[in-house]
Chain A
Amino acid sequence: MDTILEMRDIRKTFPGVVALNKVNLRVRAGEIHAIVGENGAGKSTLMKVLSGVYPHGSYSGDIVFEGQERKFLGIHDSEQLGVIIIHQELALVPLLSIAENIFLGNETAQRGVIDWMAAHSKTQALLKKVGLKESPATLITDIGVGKQQLVEIAKALSRQVRLLILDEPTASLNENDSQALLDLLLELKGQGITCILISHKLNEISRVADAITILRDGSTVETLDCRAEAISEDRVIRGMVGREMADRYPPREPQIGETVFEVRDWNVYHPLHTDRKFIKDVNLQVRRGEIVGIAGLMGAGRTELAMSIFGRSWGRRISGQVLLNGQPVDVGTVEKAVRRGLAYVTEDRKGNGLVLNEDIQFNMSLAHLKGVSTAAVIDSGREYQVAQGYREKLRIRCSSVGQKVLNLSGGNQQKVVLGKWLFTSPEVLILDEPTRGIDVGAKYEIYTLMAQLAAEGKCIIVISSEMPELLGMTDRIYVMNEGRFIAEMPTAQASQEKIMRAIMKAS
């Protein structure tokens, strides 16, 4: 079979970070080619390079598509040639109809006047192809996520697709919808459409894929040919996680005491789809001086769990109990949670953690204004000293605490958020992806700080998608999948394979 796509020696850097290095990908015409790798391995970045989101010139290396070297300057160029990407977050307009969405930007129009009749009949034909029985006039908002995914594929088919790229297409689908989607992919393959499938779900991959390329830390590890021999999931997992653990974590001698923080029978429903239970029967304990990790893939519900505990900031119909030192406590609002000694360092520090337009001092005192004020009047001198203190303690690199946080690097912004929560003197610190997007040096400093806080007797919960981080820093790990804790293990007995296997078994 001949090669439809070849990507050679792709290297893509962002300031301070090498996202892709020496990536080679070869896709043969008419196959389903799976790309697997951990979160942050570079899968999405690679697909953005391929589809022209990162234009030619912003990366090095060659892309050869259908025998010619291509220099895509934008997504429009790649779509012209039939390279179509369907993102994890669907790009459909909810309040337009299926037909309108399918032909959006590609309308069947003459001199700007749309021929709705033609659009309608074409849509009908496309929907039949993907096995959808909806009317083309149905609004997107009225159909489920699974069907929306199919509409996306129909939209791709309307554009003479040659290479279809699906980024985690089944992440938000239920079992039946997932099966239907995979069947459709096999059918499209029969019609000669090549497909790149990015997925975490190894069982799905082994069902449909002809070849698997494994990415790790921004480089290709290997490409496995599934037609020659059956590839076991363990084989794939080994490829995904097999990295060496260098001395990237500060040494710790855990001094673990009695149980301080406990969550019992925690159930949460989705805030929009109110009949969908999102967090299911979670039980969690953290002891004094302990660092507990929560592992899981994206979308497992870890952030939602943390936010629902922290002042019910996420979800509806929350039930369950939170106990501090054995006593049930009310943490129903953020204010109460903070007063009881909870702190939550958000995953999305720019969106949820910082007021970017204000300075370091402003952000540091925000969660504990009482600490710098007398009778509601802020003492800016005291506030300055507090901020200055954390600046030194956390080694925040800035010109002064009067600098806007907008202009700080990711690592320093994260330290500001940490400082803000340390100033509330928390007993229980929940850190959500504390080192995402941060360079290695700053990571080490944050790990050191975590170790220090644990040594002071605080309870620390770390949510992280980087398994080495969890294995390097925690004492105990909960594994979460689809809103449930599916496994719990002491870190001493845990390994990446073991965690991955637990997740794969459950999904």
Chain B
Amino acid sequence: MKNESSHIAAPAVKAAAAGDKSPLDYLKHNFREYGMLITLVAIMAFFQYMTDGTLMQPLNLTNLILQNSYIVIMALGMLMVIVAGHIDLSVGSVCGFIGALAAVLMVQYDWHFVPASLACLACGALIGAAQGWFVAFFRIPSFIVTLAGMLVFKGLALALLQGQSVGPFPDSFQMLSSGFMPELLSSEGLRMSSLLLGVVLAAVLAVAGIRARANEFKHGIQAEPAAFFFIKTAAFSALLIYFSYLLSSYRGLPNVLIVMAALIFLFHFITSRTTIGRRVYAMGGNEKAAKLSGIKTERLAFYTFVNMGVLAALAGLVFAARLNTATPKAGLGFELDVIAACFIGGASASGGVGKVMGAVIGAFVMGVMNNGMSILGIGIDYQQVIKGAVLLAAVFVDVYNKNKA
């Protein structure tokens, strides 16, 4: 309640000045939004330089994507869980358990990969539902429920595999992780259809951005400065095309990248544009207010866990397909990377704050560092130290900026 009256005048002055800001000024004021993206670019540039260009070589870039795909997929679900005000520690174990289940079904019982994968996803949903049930309807803290889940599914994975690795998977299933977009246009060296897809995507996103901006103007919403918008859109499109060019010069777009991109887009849309997403933010921001606004918070929390379960299962399939075997140790510690990705990306541990794009960027910050440090030959010991320091630094900067604002 402090300083109430003095607040009225101050923002009005700020608003008047907002119209004629230079792009740099705007960036400064919206640093929290773009800060992480800039950090990612800086980290990539750093490793690109330090590794004499190895980081961005098409082969390495492809690997980077493959290595991080399952973290990114789970980060999408984890972001919603965290925004809802909860946490899920069981995702690594669930990931490993589903990989084991897939192996048993496909290798030992000779199921076709389609029904087996569907069964695995359904099983993931069931696991999420079971945990969400306790969290949402019985109000047991999610930390405890999912800690229990972490132990349970780690144990079940071990039991299912009877302590041994099971593999290899059928070739068709492996395509999920090791396959690339089929080449339709024949050409030498360059995978033209992959490049084309990248160009088309860049164009679609640019047009969508321009249209959204026009819509904002139509409704009189104050949009970001024109110069900033066009620089941003141009830079983003150029990056997208450049990356698809790099990937095309190797084997094209990996299948898993396409799955991942579709999911990122879907979850970005859900969180930013739909009523469901809106309600999750409201619930995490102030559960009582959300409840008194007619939002069924219990059910909503339940569904965020179901969603997390499905995504953890998908990640488990991707990981199993990539390794081509299911091992009892699969998924070990994944939950930490996934949670770290969300927090690096600006999510708040107390709920209500966080963006899908932030979590994705956070996942790639971790991924690029893993990859870059491995190329540099830094030992696994110091890699962990550095990653821990980066996590703390990212959150520190975020909190510091928030307090300053």
Contact = CB atoms under 8 A, between A and B. Distances in A.
A261 B274 CA distance: 34
A365 to B, nearest CB: 8
Given A355-B286, A358-B281, A376-B274, 6 more contacts: A310-B292, A354-B286, A362-B278, A378-B278, A380-B216, A409-B8
A374 to B, nearest CB: 10
Nearest to B216: A381
Contacts of A357: 285-286, 352-353
A398 interface: yes
Interface in B265-298: 273-276, 278-279, 281-282, 285-286, 288-296
Contacts of A15: 1-6
B15 interface: yes
Contacts of A369: 275, 278-279
Interface stretch (A21-29, A80-88, A345-353): A345-353
A352 B288 contact: yes
Contact of A366 (B6, B11, B293): B293
A384 to B, nearest CB: 5
Contact of B1 (A362, A385, A402, A410): A410
A297 B289 CA distance: 25
Nearest to B221: A384
17 contacts: A337-B294, A352-B289, A355-B281, A366-B289, A366-B290, A366-B293, A367-B293, A367-B294, A369-B278, A376-B274, A381-B216, A381-B218, A388-B220, A397-B12, A403-B11, A409-B4, A409-B8
Contacts of B404: none
B374 interface: no
Contacts, number: 129
A187 interface: no
Contact count band on A: 35 or more
Contacts of A352: 286, 288-289, 292
Contacts of B221: 380-381, 384, 402
Contacts of B290: 355, 366
Contacts of B275: 369-370, 373, 376-378
A355 B279 CA distance: 11
B296 A335 contact: yes
A437 B6 CA distance: 15
B384 interface: no
B364 to A, nearest CB: 26
B172 interface: no
Contacts of A310: 292
Contact of A409 (B7, B218, B219): B7
Contacts of B51: none
Given A334-B293, A355-B290, A385-B219, A16 B5 contact: yes
Contacts of B5: 15-16, 409, 439
A337 B291 CA distance: 12
B170 to A, nearest CB: 38
Interface of B: 1-8, 11-12, 14-15, 215-216, 218-222, 273-276, 278-279, 281-282, 285-286, 288-296, 352-353
A94 B285 CA distance: 29
Interface of A: 14-16, 310-311, 313, 333-335, 337-338, 344, 346, 351-358, 362, 365-367, 369-370, 373, 376-378, 380-382, 384-385, 388, 397-400, 402-403, 407-412, 420, 437, 439
Nearest to B16: A399
Residue with the greatest number of chain A CB neighbours at <10 A, chosen from B1, B220, B296, B352: B1
A383 to B, nearest CB: 9
Nearest to B293: A367
B12 A353 contact: no
A14 B220 contact: no
A355 B14 CA distance: 23
B1 A407 contact: no
Given A15-B2, A367-B294, A408-B7, A402 B222 contact: yes
Contacts of B295: 334-335, 366
B328 to A, nearest CB: 41
B291 A313 contact: yes
A358 B276 CA distance: 16
B289 A399 contact: no
Contacts of A410: 1, 4
A351 B279 CA distance: 17
B285 A355 contact: yes
B322 to A, nearest CB: 35
B350 to A, nearest CB: 9
Contact of A14 (B1, B7, B276, B281): B1
B12 A399 contact: yes
A30 B281 CA distance: 57
Contacts of A412: 8
Residue with the greatest number of chain B CB neighbours at <10 A, chosen from A376, A385, A439: A376
B102 to A, nearest CB: 32
Q: Which 10 pairs of residues, A with B, have the shortest CB-CB distance?
A: A399-B11, A399-B15, A355-B285, A381-B219, A16-B5, A409-B4, A367-B293, A335-B294, A369-B275, A334-B294
A352 B285 CA distance: 11
A355 B289 contact: yes
Contacts of A344: 292
Given A352-B289, A409-B4, A358 B11 contact: no
Contact of B276 (A365, A376, A409): A376
A311 B294 contact: yes
Residue with the greatest number of chain B CB neighbours at <10 A, chosen from A14, A334, A356, A385: A334
Nearest to A348: B288
Contacts of A381: 215-216, 218-219, 221
A437 B2 CA distance: 11
Contacts of B6: 15
Contacts of A400: 15, 222
Residue with the greatest number of chain A CB neighbours at <10 A, chosen from B4, B7, B276, B353: B4
A403 B8 CA distance: 11
Contacts of A402: 221-222
